[in-house]
Structure 1
Amino acid sequence: MTSRPLPHSSELPPASLEGWYVLHQSIELDWAGLKGADPAETRAALRSFAALAERWSGGSEPGWSGVYRVTGGGIDFLILHFRDTFDRLVEAVRELKLSAWGDHALVREEYLSVVELGLYSLTRELSGRIDPGDREAWDAALTDALAEERGKGYVRRRLEPRQPEHMPYVCYYPMDKRRNPGQNWYRLSLEERAELMAAHGRLGRRFAGRISQVISGSMGLDDWEWAVTLWAGDPLEFKAIISEMRYDAASADYAEFGPFLVGKRMPETEYETLLSSEATP
């Protein structure tokens, strides 16, 4: 018996490739505790912070972490962790908690996701050649197509992202696709979703060289469906791209956005001067 073919509708989700795991940590610093502690203890905590950040910045193991000073939202720092496995992400969190710095770093929010490359165009093209209802043929063709995509150098770089050195600023926010009556992304046909995302992508590419973007999926991992991480050389670029994209149909009709955090990555020279009035802003 052959299975019934799936219609070209919401029943066919886009294929995707997954890369590094991601954890966004929103940190509030215990300023009073640091300033009131013994100066030697405070210096030790700041040195442990610097050493941890330097080790996290990238080495022989896949992945890295960045520490960003944040303004607004009652948050002092955003720590952004990328790791190749979930277990190594757990270990990074444990390292923070066990450090002397961890006693003063109060984690207010954490968001778990995994770097995701959604392949709407590939899924649409493949469904035009292979019947998705023939599960054996569809799964085999999809496996081959995904393996070919993953082997491309630029795809690997997107799945294992690095922050461009000339883009020290970060903007992070979670988002969903709407599921309202008459405005439900997940009831659109594959063709409609693919067309909307293609237009969305064309708009985003206009900011190439000005914005570097990471999309990470969080369905089944956290409360929202995706996390968006942007890097730029000027924080006004975040306002420019997000304002323009709000008028794009994929966002205007179907996107819901969570809270935004904006910060600047801390160079290693700043860690031990956090409590100094002469610290660089």
Structure 2
Amino acid sequence: MPDRRDPPPTDEGWYALHDFRTIDWDAWRDAPERQRQRALGEVVDHLEARLAVEDADEGESALYSVLGHKADLLLVHLRPSSADIGALERQFERTEFAAFTERETSFVSVTEASGYSERARDYFEGDLDENSGLANYIQTRLKPTIPDATHVCFYPMTKRRGEEHNWYGLSFEERAEQMDAHGDIGRDYGGKVVQMITGAIALDDWEWGVTLWGEDLLDMKDLLYEMRFDPSTSRYAEFGQFCRG
């Protein structure tokens, strides 16, 4: 019988929805001014309530204008349950403004922390003071604060499972070593780029979603360019469509 690979322990936090919308500008221009003003007033009230998280006990929401042709708007919602996320979708669809939009794509996932590092394993094994710096850091991964940043970038990714390069065929130790080196690159951009990793296995078509925030899109470009040369990316990562706003 072939050896079974050990998966890292994971802990999950809030559910996440990335909702990409395009606006039907022809329909919007053709609509009577009174209807447009009514639709705008209603959707502004709706979004302000969502940004204030009036619909749940905790969570985060943000709205972005998307650069390029892939969408016009990006709504990001973080909520404690999948039911909360589903309710947000239905509430938006009931607004008059929603009739002027079309969902280009969406991504459903959940905030996630994994136990690849030795220190993180202390957290998962219960050997860590809940008030320690590491425990607090992991909680910020599970219940993140969306930063008030100028730019956002989102992309989905999956670890490769090919005949030559199979991430899931590596031993736990090999994966942990590669993830540690990969994380070193990200830490070099601390203060410039904030990231949120969300897990999507069984929730969406890709395995993870990566959301980056920063004041300069070039910082995100530099970070991802440098990571392209890291073996955990060059050998084992596949990426979906990038969207930025």
SS at match of 1:183: coil
Structure 1: how far apart are the matches of 2:198 and 2:70? 24
Q: Indicate which of 159, 163, 166 corresponds to 1:184.
A: 166
Q: Following TM superposition, by how much is the alpha carbon of 1:149 offset from its aligned partner in structure 2, in angstroms?
A: 9.1
Structure 1: how far apart are the matches of 2:206 and 2:170? 20
Question: Is residue 152 of structure 1 aligned with residue 148 of structure 2?
Answer: no
| Number of the residue aligned with 1:119 | 115
Query: Structure 1 regions of 5+ residues with no counterpart?
Result: 1-6, 127-140, 264-281
* TM-score of the two chains, using structure 1 as the length reference: 0.80
SS at match of 2:126: helix
| Number of the residue aligned with 1:36 | 30
Structure 2: how far apart are the matches of 1:125 and 1:21? 23
Q: Following TM superposition, by how much is the alpha carbon of 1:168 offset from its aligned partner in structure 2, in angstroms?
A: 2.2
| Number of the residue aligned with 1:168 | 150
Question: Is residue 26 of structure 1 aligned with residue 20 of structure 2?
Answer: yes
* TM-score of the two chains, using structure 2 as the length reference: 0.91
Question: Is residue 55 of structure 1 aligned with residue 38 of structure 2?
Answer: no
Post-superposition CA distance 1:18-37 (Å, at most 9, x none): 11100111101011111111
Q: Following TM superposition, by how much is the alpha carbon of 1:182 offset from its aligned partner in structure 2, in angstroms?
A: 2.1
- 8 A contact 1:66–1:80 mirrored in 2: yes
Assess, with a 3 A threshold, how the Cα gap between structure 1 residues 47 and 187 changes in structure 2: closer, same or farther: same
Assess, with a 3 A threshold, how the Cα gap between structure 1 residues 254 and 23 changes in structure 2: closer, same or farther: same
| Number of the residue aligned with 1:101 | 97
1:245 maps to a residue whose letter is M
Post-superposition CA distance 1:53-91 (Å, at most 9, x none): 211113462112211111223311111111111110001
The structure number with the bigger radius of gyration is 1
Question: Is residue 90 of structure 1 aligned with residue 86 of structure 2?
Answer: yes
| Number of the residue aligned with 1:258 | 240
Alignment identity in percent?
37
Structure 2: how far apart are the matches of 1:156 and 1:260? 27
Q: When the two structures are aligned, how many residues end up with a matched partner?
A: 242
Q: Following TM superposition, by how much is the alpha carbon of 1:43 offset from its aligned partner in structure 2, in angstroms?
A: 0.8
1:95 maps to a residue whose letter is Q
Structure 2: how far apart are the matches of 1:208 and 1:142? 25
| Number of the residue aligned with 2:220 | 238
SS at match of 2:68: coil
Q: Following TM superposition, by how much is the alpha carbon of 1:122 offset from its aligned partner in structure 2, in angstroms?
A: 3.9
- Alpha-carbon RMSD across the aligned residues, in angstroms, is 2.4
1:217 maps to a residue whose letter is G
